[in-house]
Chain A
Amino acid sequence: MDELTSLGLILLLALLAGHLVRYAHVPEVTGYILAGVALGPSVLGWVSHENLAALQVLSEVALGLILFSIGSVFEYSLFRRAGRQILYLTLIESVLAAILVTGGMLLLGQPWQVAGLLGAVAMATAPASTLMVIREVDSRGPLTDNLLGIIAVNNLFCITAYSLVAAAIDLTDNLGGAFLPTLYRSVFPFVWQLFGSVALGFLVGLMLAGWSRQVRETGEMLILLAGSILLCVGLSRLLELSPLVASLAVGATMVNLAAQSRKLFGTLAGTDPPFYAIFFVIAGADLDVSLVPTMGAAGLLYIVARALGKFIGARVGAQWLRLGPAVRRYLGLALMAQAGLAVGLTLAIDDRFETYAPQVSTVVLAAVVIYEMIGPIATRFALVRSGESAMSGEGPRAVFEAGARG
């Protein structure tokens, strides 16, 4: 099947699936992902790997736009007010998830290198699907604000943890070699990808902010945005930086430097659904459901330990910071989703640590299938039950709006 037909099928079936799942009170994102699984190579095979590769550009644009949107949480005054709280929450939930996964793997007899890598990967929460659920249920409130902040910062923590574990593995595996050069080679990638990506994102964001002052039309705004995001992602790959961090940095720069940032984000929210549908359907098509039965005890442990770590960590952190009941009860549930970054880390591990890659990939790729399905559902459940969603029958927002109507 050629790429255009694939693309048409993707969009139409995604729309259909998105409508259908609403009856089951399941997020549209899950519908898109299920449509992707059905269309993809592991089930119907109507969309092949070659088709998916050809649609890569659209997927890249979509992910860049999503991360760009999330980057807006780094607005200075907002972050100054709530930044410490978000950092603490992220640290506690991420670290607890990592500790539980690492400890569990060690108890299962896995080598410490595999346990450490899996622990680092377990910290990641999928920003894309979480943001889409937030938009779909139209939630606002402290839970939503904290959630957005956490999914922005969480991936930075995850990359940092991975880099530290990778450096430790390099240093212990190269004990015969010189220490300083090995340390330099191990630590530099992390430093480069963090600071270099932020620097690149800042420069592209600066260009975007400056140019957006001259742009009035919605269409032109979209062209400018798409072009800037693609430029950012492309340059990131060229310079071996992290497109994820760079796109976040573009959004952060925009929101802090451009007077029109609100209009730009609003424009983005109104016009990017086709990109997101494509992105999630492609993500679903790439899931290999046949891996689930092969995950074994390690995979099961990973799923349970990560979920517990996120849930308990968020609850403990919210309790300690004296946050509201909605945040305490539901924040952990909302952090379940895991996808792109976990898969990206697995590929990086395959490139860098061939010895450990098979064990890591078996666990992570199977777990991603599970988390991509249940994660958005858990997030939706959390946001609706917290009362912050427009779909909540009761709760602070509904009560407020009812009061406003008199």
Chain B
Amino acid sequence: MGEPSTTGSGAGSDLTRNPRYISILAVAAGLILVIGWLLKPQERSTDSPVSAPSQVELSRLPSMTVRRDLEDMSEFFAELGEELSSTVVRLGSVRRSGVIWSADRVVTARVGWRFPAAVTVGAGGVEVGAYTAVSGPHLPIAALRTPELAGDVPPQARPLETLSPGEWVLAAWQGDSRHGSAPGTFLGVGRRECGEYRLNELATSVPIRPEMLGGGIFDLDGNLLAVLLRCDGEPVAVTVEGVAMLLERGDSHDSRLRTRWGLQVEVLTSAEAFHFGLGNGLLVRQLWERYPGEVAGLRPGDVLLALDDTPLQDLDALRILDADAAPGQEAFSLELRRGLETLTVSLPARGLDTRLDVEMPDATGLVWEEAKLGYPVASVLPGTRAADAGVAPGDRLLRVDHQTPESLNAVRELLSVEGGGPAFLELSRDGRRWGVLLP
């Protein structure tokens, strides 16, 4: 048996032969231990003895190499985030990020009641001015036209079909003082309601926070996959296709009416024309509170007949409202029918009254909120006329056929008087007012 050899002549010298010698050695060994322990430096606990490791220590070993890989990954993401800082800009005046969409266009999330007409864009340490080209209370997005941003190249967009679940993505945005980024993985694409639109949402494992709005989600090559917008109060990553669709809609005449005047107008349907007893005209379908249309006194259900004495046959006739009025013109004159009355309303010719955006404190220092008007709808039975007309719980009923009920009983009375016949309801919700014809 290959044992360690013990064939030397002194093998196993008996203890009893040299007890004194052994005792001296034992005392010396004890002294070494005691003195060494006392002299041991106290502060560093990292001088672990070199020995065969315990199992607990050995179980740490895999994590050491994994840690290095994770550190390398973090470094990679940080570098990619830095590179993307030329694609994601800071909109100082609205304190939000924006993504460079094209050589002269920046897109961002529209948050708040109204988006300013002019914004500063910070890119590459330089601030340039930009004006709002697309924005409206119906849109979750705003687009700005800027002079060409020197050195900033718009990102390539990547078709989502080429993305595989589990692939790494990076969210990038511009914070107040520095660039931010957060890695995650691609999970899939879903459909999502966003106001009156249905958009494709890019689902990822990145937790989207409000300060990231206006930023973008990119792949590891820096291709743009989605822009972070707010839909119905929640941050959402809207795909590039969805953003393109919103920008196209936002560039329309209808969208410009909504953006500038807070006004959506439609041609009367045949049922509505019969109900209102009018052959033609343009129906005010929606209004947004504190926009010029509502402030001027328009209401849902008003039928616009003429603008500056020009009869209104179709929506194109309102194109004059897209642009500023002629020099010297203070207001546009709108003739309309409200119920049996014919009224004239004056729309201010230039700009939006931004004073409407800011609630000023009064002398006591109190800032007030407007009392909510109307009667809230608690529930809507499915299959009823109200459900078919699109009334939903939470909507507030303001008027029925231009009449303001003074009590809930009056509401019931009005609606029962209308009986089986149609009634035009004016409803409001979250600052938006609209009218529906109850069939």
Q: Is the CB of A341 within 8 A of B52?
A: yes
Residues of B43-58 whose CB lies within 8 A of A: 43-44, 46-58
Q: Interface 1/0s, chain B 44-81, versus A by CB < 8 A?
A: 10111111111111111110110110010000000000
Q: Determine if B49 and A241 form an interchain contact, defined as CB atoms under 8 angstroms apart.
A: yes
Asked if A338 is at the interface (CB within 8 A of a chain B CB), the reply is: no
| B55 lies within 8 A of A56 (CB) | yes
User: Which residues from A are CB-within-8-Å of B54?
Assistant: 53, 56, 60
A56 adjacent to B14 (CB under 8 Å) = no
Q: A52-B58, A59-B55, A196-B33 are in contact. Are A352 and B8 (CB under 8 A)?
A: no
C-alpha spacing A346/B62, complex, angstroms: 12
B125 on the interface (CB 8 Å rule)? no
- CB under 8 Å from chain A, chain B span 238-257: none
Alpha-carbon distance between A286 and B59 when the two chains are bound, in angstroms = 7
The one of A241, A265, A288, A294 in contact with B3, judged by C-beta atoms closer than 8 angstroms, is A265
Binds B, one of A19-27, A94-102, A183-191, A311-319: A183-191
Please, which residues of chain A bring their CB within 8 A of the CB of B36?
191-192, 195-196, 199
> Assuming A213-B15, A240-B40, is B65 touching A49 (CB within 8 A)?
no
- Per the CB 8 Å criterion, the residue count for chain B at the interface is 52
A265 and B6: CB pair below 8 A? Answer: yes
Contact A55 B55, beta carbon cutoff 8 Å? yes
| Min CB–CB distance A261 → chain B (angstroms) | 4
Whether B15 contacts A209 by the Cβ 8 Å rule is yes
Interface flags for B9-45 (1: CB within 8 Å of A; 0: not) read: 1111111000000100110111011001101110110
Q: How close is A229's CB to chain B, nearest CB, in angstroms? A: 13
- Please tell me if the beta carbons of A56 and B6 are within 8 angstroms of each other in the complex: no
In the complex formed, the residue of B with least CB distance to A282 is B55
Q: Does B112 contact A (CB under 8 A)?
A: no
A17 at the A/B interface (Cβ < 8 Å)?
A: no
* CB-CB under 8 A for A291 and B51, given A135-B3, A138-B2: no
Residues of A within 8 A of B50 (CB): 159, 162, 193, 242, 244, 341, 344-345, 348
Q: Is A228 an interface residue (CB 8 A)?
A: no
Tell me, yes or no, whether A92 is within 8 Å of chain B by CB: no
* Contact A53-B56, Cβ < 8 Å, known A199-B30, A202-B25: yes
Task: Decide if A52 touches B55 in the complex (CB within 8 Å).
Answer: yes
A56 to B56, CA, bound (A): 8
Interchain CB contact under 8 A, B68 and A362? yes
**Nearest-CB residue, chain A, relative to B33:** A199
- Residues in A with CB closer than 8 Å to B41 are 184-185, 188
A265 and B4 contact, Cβ closer than 8 Å, known pairs A189-B47, A244-B51, A259-B14 = yes
Distance between Cα atoms of A10 and B90 in the complex (Å): 62
B67 in contact with A243 (CB, 8 Å): no
Whether A239 pairs with B51 at a CB distance below 8 angstroms is: no
Chain B residue numbers with a CB within 8 Å of A72 are 4, 6
CB distance from B310 to the nearest CB of A (A): 77
Known: A195-B32, A203-B26, A288-B61. A77 touches B11 (CB 8 A): yes
Query: Which residue of B1, B9, B29, B48 contacts A352 across the interface (Cβ within 8 Å)?
Result: B48
Question: How many angstroms between the C-alpha atoms of A137 and B48 in the bound complex?
Answer: 36
Q: Which residues of B contact A341 (CB under 8 A)?
A: 50-52
By the criterion CB–CB under 8 Å, are B11 and A255 in contact?
Answer: yes
Partner of B51 from A53, A213, A243 at Cβ < 8 Å:
A243
User: Which of these binds chain B: A105-113, A139-147, A218-226, A301-309?
Assistant: A139-147
Inter-chain contact B2/A134, CB cutoff 8 Å:
yes
Determine if A260 is an interface residue (Cβ-Cβ < 8 Å). Answer: yes
- Chain B residues near A148 (CB-CB < 8 A): 4-5
Given known contacts A72-B6, A199-B33, A239-B37, is B49 in contact with A257 (CB within 8 Å)?
no
Q: A69 near B: Cβ within 8 Å? A: yes
Contacts of B13 in A (CB 8 A): 76, 256-257, 259
Tell me the A153-178 residues at the B interface (CB within 8 Å): 159, 162
B162 at the interface (CB under 8 A from A): no
Q: Which of B10, B53, B64 is in CB contact (< 8 Å) with A358?
A: B64
B2 adjacent to A139 (CB under 8 Å) = yes
Q: Mark A70-88 against chain B: 1 for CB-CB distance below 8 A, else 0.
A: 1011011111010000000
Tell me if B354 counts as interface (CB < 8 A to partner A): no
Interface string of A306-340 (1 = CB under 8 A from B): 00000000000000000000000000000000001
Query: Which A residues, 257 to 280, have Cβ-Cβ distances below 8 Å to chain B?
Result: 257-262, 265-266, 269
Which residues of B sit under 8 angstroms from A193, Cβ to Cβ?
A: 49-50
Q: How far is the CA of A361 from the CA of B53 in the complex (A)?
A: 14
Question: In the complex, what distance in Å separates the CA atom of A138 from the CA atom of B65?
Answer: 39
A77 near B8 (CB under 8 angstroms)? yes
- A residues near B (Cβ < 8 Å) are 49, 52-56, 59-60, 63, 69-70, 72-73, 75-79, 81, 134-140, 144-145, 148, 159, 162, 184-185, 188-189, 191-193, 195-196, 198-200, 202-203, 206, 209-210, 213, 236-237, 239-244, 255-262, 265-266, 269, 282, 286, 288, 291, 294, 340-341, 343-348, 350-352, 357-358, 361-362, 365, 389
Additional A-B contacts beyond A193-B50, A195-B32, A361-B68 (5; CB < 8 A):
A148-B5, A196-B32, A344-B50, A352-B46, A389-B2
Listed by A's residue number, 24 A-B pairs whose Cβ atoms lie within 8 Å are A52-B59, A56-B55, A60-B54, A77-B8, A134-B2, A188-B39, A196-B32, A199-B32, A236-B51, A239-B33, A242-B50, A244-B50, A257-B22, A261-B11, A262-B11, A294-B65, A343-B58, A345-B50, A346-B64, A347-B61, A351-B46, A352-B46, A352-B48, A357-B64
Which 4 residue pairs spanning A and B have beta carbons closest together? A77-B8, A78-B8, A199-B29, A358-B68
